[in-house]
Amino acid sequence: MLGFSAMERKAGPRTGDGASENPIARFLAAQGTMILDGGLATELEARGHDLDDELWSARLLAEDPEAIRQVHLDDLAAGADCIVSASYQATIEGFQRRGRSESEAIELLLASVRLANEARDAFWSDGAHRRGRLRPLVAASVGPYGAALADGSEYTGDYDLDADGLVEFHRRRFALLAASGADLLACETIPCGAEARALARLLAAHPATWAWMTFSCRDGRSLRDGTDFAALVAELEALPNLAAVGVNCTAPEHVADLVRRADGITARPIVVYPNSGETYDVAARRWLPATAPTDFAAAARTWQALGARLVGGCCRVGPREIAAMRRALLPPCG
């Protein structure tokens, strides 16, 4: 069970009294399905940026923020209704290990959301982009503990911290991103039950903040650490400010089964943004090709038919695939 502490219960009611309407609700009411963006870091790599670094895409927050802004703009032009900030692997401790002061580290973390907001606002300032579209959202990425370790453990969930330790790891960054000006948080690529419960406790302590929670799964039934996906989805249903729940950074062939398991268990919108189907070799630090390429337009139609309402992509899925999914799932803009 979630096991909210007395202090966390006092932080605010769990009835959703402090939260406004779920920010994704207007998209679902107007168009039935919401299109998410693609994998930011792997798109940056595809454009020639060397991200072989413990900060991954977060390194460019200081070195080349314009590159991040451009990927956001290209995802929006491809049809994304929501872009996710470059904070997945950004932590105060990680920046400090690279010689940044605490205040500089906090500024870089918050810059990830500012860049996304600026890109969204620039896109929306063009009247041609408003035809047939709602003003896109910005989600602040809350990446897993394993991403901060930069050792590939987000693909296993084999952590050296329990749920209490994970609450403490995430607490400060979670609070900063919750107050960053993003429309909601994206608690993503969660590989284990302990981390899901830790993030749920923090979300309960921020009742005015909406967040989706998505898990990295090893098959059509379980998270990376073996936690039963459906049971965890049912457990999280108690959170009033859970905007959506589902999977990301999971092989496309597992998504249909996972959507089937979530559908009927949760009243929340189901969100899916799988990777390309390629496998990342942590030791070799390279991508291994998929056995067969995924037709994302066809796959997205299947996921939508099964009940997914937020659809996008993760690693190695770029603007081209996002555009194909939008064409497949929604009528033309304008």
pLDDT in tens, 91-112: 999 899 989 999 999 999 999 9
The pLDDT assigned to 129 comes to 96
- Dihedral sign, CA of 129, 49, 62, 179? positive
Q: Which residues contact 12 (CB under 8 A, 6 or more apart)?
A: 18, 204, 205, 206, 207, 208
Pairing type for strands 286-288 and 211-215 reads unpaired
Q: Hey, where are the domains in the chain? A: 6-329
> So what's the pLDDT on residue 2?
52
Pair 43, 287: CB distance under 8 Å: no
pTM metric for this prediction: 0.91
Does pLDDT of 87 surpass 90?
yes
Is the predicted pLDDT of residue 30 greater than 90, yes or no? yes
From CA 240, how far away is CA 19, in angstroms rounded? 9
Residue 53: exposed, middle, or buried by beta-carbon count in 10 A (0-12, 13-18, 19+)? middle
Mean pLDDT of the chain: 90
Q: Is the pLDDT confidence value at 4 over 50?
A: no
pLDDT-based confidence at residue 221 (cuts at 50, 70, 90)? very high
Q: What percent of the chain has pLDDT over 90?
A: 79
Weakest-pLDDT range from 51-55, 61-65, 150-154, 294-298: 51-55
State the fold for domain 6-329. TIM Barrel (3.20.20)
The pLDDT of residue 304 is: 98
Partners of 296 in the beta sheet?
none
Quick one: DSSP state of residue 306? H
Residue in the structure block whose two tokens are 């406790």: 201
**Up-side HSE of residue 291: CA atoms within 13 Å toward CB?**
3
